Amino acid sequence: MRATCWMGTHNIQVRSVPDPQILNPRDAIVRVTSTAICGSDVHLYDGFIPTMQRGDVLGHEFMGEVVETGEAVSNLRVGDRVVVPFPIACGHCNMCEREMYSLCENSNPNASMAEQLWGYSPCGIFGYSHMLGGYAGGQAEYVRVPFADVGPLKVPDHLEDEQVLFLSDILPTGYMAAENCNIQPGDIVAVWGCGPVGQFAIKSAYMLGAERVIAIDRFEYRMRIARERAGAETINYEETDVWDAIREMTGGRGADSCIDAVGMEAHAANAWHIYDKAKTVLMMETERGAALRQAIMCVRNGGHVSVAGVYGGFMDKFPIGAIVNRSLTIKSGQTHVHRYMRPLLERIEAGDVDPRFIITHRLNLNDAATGYDIFRDKEDECLKVVMKP
């Protein structure tokens, strides 16, 4: 089969690899019908995530048709159309029982690698480094789905792929980011980053009752989509001082909650960018933290900071003083996708949200390398790339 392989930093190739096989009784094989490139895949592309190996198959946003099931999978049949959540979860450990699916204790066979870096291990993730399990990903013709009796969600035929594909990751991720803000009536939410997760975080904040949402970015076309399709007010951080602007827009209070939908490769318009760039190049820190630092500074006293962007290691100049002295709450986590898939599918069916508005590019899987390039470099007003094998 054809699969998108990571062949080194900035080197993506669609190659021919053997078809996956059932390895465990609770596995299924899914023939992929649609898959997408995620902002977090760009961190892999840029070499920011450790423990990648040459030849690893990428992709954790995908859906398709069940073509084979293991002997212990009784809820799925060959031919079922399913969306697969990116975290792999067993459904039976203490964390899964508490609906903290991305913390599943049984799905990462390389948990000891993650323990070295983070203390304890989260779940395994498709196509996202060996530290997170070394699972082959879904930017391919076929994919092996472990614990298939727990993860995949059957979707109704009247909804097309593009309406439900993002249930695999970014729609629940944007939603959980907003949920972590504990939004109260009258709240003003600020969102850093108008990428796909940022757009869904804006939408979700409104769904959860936010009064206003302010979005921060530097690409005009992305801010335009945030304004026109998601209903946000926008700030271009290259032209405006963000702290001043948010203060003025919130009556001097600050944003009630701030969402970081940027992550470890943030840019900044000031000396912070040069500082972080230099330190990451010298391997003295692993994250460029401009967005998160600014989000912490801009939230009101006692507010919530919700971190949806991906971070992998250690950040410099983390403003712990602001958190302690201003009673801030920080919430984060890889998305517990399983928890949100069904309710969000209902929202899609009810017409509350149509996730298709973020799609700008539709490619064949063979053109995955081009897809990564234009998405990463924001060429051709790219916001989201969907691929079909």
Q: Where does this chain bind another protein (CB under 8 A)? A: 1, 3, 5, 17-21, 23-26, 51, 53-57, 72, 88, 90-94, 97, 105-113, 124, 127, 130, 133-137, 142, 144, 146-147
Per-residue DSSP letters for 178-194?
A: HHTT---TT-EEEEE--
What is the closest distance, in whole angstroms, from the C-beta atom of residue 129 to another protein in the complex?
A: 8
Nearest Cα residue to 28 out of 62, 101, 61, 77? 77
Which residue number, 62 or 272, has a Cβ lying nearer to another protein?
A: 62
What is the closest distance, in whole angstroms, from the C-beta atom of residue 107 to another protein in the complex?
A: 5
Which residue number, 74 or 327, has a Cβ lying nearer to another protein?
A: 74
* Pairing mode of beta strands 153-154, 81-84: antiparallel
Q: How far apart are CA 369 and CA 224, in angstroms?
A: 27
Query: How distant is the alpha carbon of residue 362 from its chain centre?
Result: 19
Return the structure tokens found at 48: 């920011």
SS3 346: helix
Which residue number, 108 or 257, has a Cβ lying nearer to another protein?
A: 108
Nearest Cα residue to 138 out of 79, 225, 231, 59? 59
Nearest Cα residue to 4 out of 45, 59, 49? 59
Catalogue the E-assigned strands of the chain. Answer: 2-6, 12-16, 28-36, 56-57, 61-69, 81-84, 87-88, 124-125, 142-145, 153-154, 188-192, 212-217, 233-236, 255-260, 299-307, 329-332, 361-364, 385-388
Which residue number, 107 or 180, has a Cβ lying nearer to another protein?
A: 107
What is the closest distance, in whole angstroms, from the C-beta atom of residue 67 to another protein in the complex?
A: 14
Which residue number, 53 or 325, has a Cβ lying nearer to another protein?
A: 53
What is the closest distance, in whole angstroms, from the C-beta atom of residue 79 to another protein in the complex?
A: 22
What is the closest distance, in whole angstroms, from the C-beta atom of residue 113 to another protein in the complex?
A: 7
Please say whether the beta carbons of 196 and 384 come within 8 A: yes
Q: Return the bridge partners of 5, or none.
A: 13, 57
Which residue number, 3 or 214, has a Cβ lying nearer to another protein?
A: 3
What is the closest distance, in whole angstroms, from the C-beta atom of residue 98 to another protein in the complex?
A: 10
What are the φ/ψ torsions at residue 19 (nearest 5 degrees)? -65, 150
What is the closest distance, in whole angstroms, from the C-beta atom of residue 38 to another protein in the complex?
A: 16
What is the closest distance, in whole angstroms, from the C-beta atom of residue 8 to another protein in the complex?
A: 11
Which residue number, 94 or 184, has a Cβ lying nearer to another protein?
A: 94
Which residue number, 95 or 259, has a Cβ lying nearer to another protein?
A: 95
